């Protein structure tokens, strides 16, 4: 049996050094891998968020084009009707991050969005022929008179665009001419919550929260938000929530709760809003998003009274507020877009 008593102490210590060094390398590699994976996930989520924000930006017009392979010239964008544009925006508003990449042989399409602040946004979509889903990324944004801001966003997956892209490829079908009942601000009649169209019970009209829940249950075509109060002499642009954004907003109203009036005021941002019911009537709202809880919102109905003001016209009051958890976060992108319109007009 060999005797290890003569092995120097220093040699015994140094013999473990390579193993410790390898262990440190493995730990460092694991940390770097985690950081890389976290960064990639953030990029995927950011890419999807950019697409959703584009859809919520109060788009004034939308055009499509299929990009031919090896095209020697820029193909012309095909303008979409208001109805088709809203359908496309509803799909874009549900863009989701994905680990997948566009497939080999994918066809390419460009989307052109005209925004209310005199900006233009360009998105690129790729999909396998015949597939209903597409990989969509925001490519660039160009403001009036400025050079385009080129972006390098990771594509997000968007469902429901297949029929429209099929028509671009073949020139056949009715997807680009599909008609859907959508709100036109000029054709919706302004009413109060006691209007016969809603047939709310006295209990449902007894508080703002109960009225909100009852009105939402009757059916809503869209919710609009604007950065200020519109008047005949000073109209204010309104951004509409449709698709996933509308579904998210409606879900928050289920948790509406009555609260005391803020006294005397609250710090935050305010806006006007409207609920567009499916029977072509609209309800005007005032919304406040508190700085202390920006994900939530305080909501009140704007109601006219028969007691006219000094000029003889009906005066307006705002009902006591209801707190709607989560609504502030849902409407913020659309409100930001509406605010840009007001800023551009100043």
Q: What is the pLDDT of residue 300?
A: 93
Query: CA–CA distance from 177 to each of 76, 80, 84, 171, 174 (Å)?
Result: 18, 8, 7, 12, 5
Sequence-separated (6 or more) residues with CB below 8 Å from residue 54: 92, 113, 121, 123, 138
- What are the DSSP calls for 200-229, one per residue? --TTTTSSHHHHHHHHHHH-EEEEEEESS-
pTM of the model: 0.53
Strands (DSSP E) contained in 227-280 are: 238-241, 257-258, 268-277
Q: What is the pLDDT of residue 296?
A: 93
Q: What is the pLDDT of residue 330?
A: 85
Q: What is the pLDDT of residue 233?
A: 46
Sequence-separated (6 or more) residues with CB below 8 Å from residue 195: 281
3-state secondary structure of 269: strand
Ramachandran assignment for 272, one of left (phi > 0), alpha (psi -120 to 50 degrees), beta (any other)? beta
Q: What is the pLDDT of residue 26?
A: 66
Longest dimension (CA), the chain: 114
The alpha carbon dihedral of 35, 36, 40, 43 has a sign of positive
pLDDT means per 10 residues, the chain with 346 residues, are: 50 52 63 62 86 80 77 61 80 89 88 78 90 91 72 88 85 58 67 88 93 92 73 55 80 93 78 87 90 92 69 76 92 62 31
């Amino acid at each position: 049996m060999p005797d290890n008593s003569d092995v120097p102490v220093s040699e015994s210590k140094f013999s473990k050094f390579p193993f410790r060094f390898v262990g440190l390398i493995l730990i460092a590699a694991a940390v770097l891998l985690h950081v890389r994976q976290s960064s990639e996930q953030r990029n995927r989520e950011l890419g999807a968020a950019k697409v959703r924000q584009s859809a919520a930006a109060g788009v004034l017009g939308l055009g499509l084009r299929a990009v031919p392979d090896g095209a020697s010239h820029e193909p012309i964008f095909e303008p979409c009707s208001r109805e088709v544009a809203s359908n496309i925006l509803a799909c874009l508003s549900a863009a989701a991050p994905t680990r997948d990449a566009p497939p080999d042989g994918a066809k390419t399409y460009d989307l052109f969005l005209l925004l209310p602040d005199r900006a233009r946004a360009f998105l690129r979509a790729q999909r396998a022929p015949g597939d209903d889903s597409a990989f969509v990324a925001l490519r660039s944004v160009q403001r009036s008179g400025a050079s385009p801001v080129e972006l390098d966003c990771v594509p997000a997956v968007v469902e429901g665009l297949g029929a429209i892209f099929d028509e671009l490829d073949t020139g056949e079908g009715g997807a680009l001419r599909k008609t859907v009942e959508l709100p036109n601000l000029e054709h919706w009649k302004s009413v109060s919550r006691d209007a016969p169209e809603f047939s709310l019970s006295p209990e449902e009209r007894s508080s703002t929260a109960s009225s909100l829940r009852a009105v939402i249950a009757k059916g809503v075509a869209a919710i609009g938000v604007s950065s200020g109060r519109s008047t005949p002499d000073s109209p204010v642009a309104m951004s509409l929530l449709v698709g996933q954004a509308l579904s998210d907003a409606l879900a928050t109203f289920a948790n509406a709760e009555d609260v005391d009036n803020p006294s005397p005021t609250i710090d935050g941002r305010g806006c006007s809003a409207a609920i567009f019911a499916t029977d072509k009537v609209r309800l005007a709202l005032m919304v406040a998003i508190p700085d202390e809880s920006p994900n939530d919102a305080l909501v009140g109905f704007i109601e006219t009274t028969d007691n006219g003001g000094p000029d003889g016209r009906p005066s307006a009051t705002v009902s006591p507020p209801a707190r709607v958890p989560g609504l502030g976060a849902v409407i913020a992108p659309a409100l930001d877009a509406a605010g840009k319109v007001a800023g551009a007009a100043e």
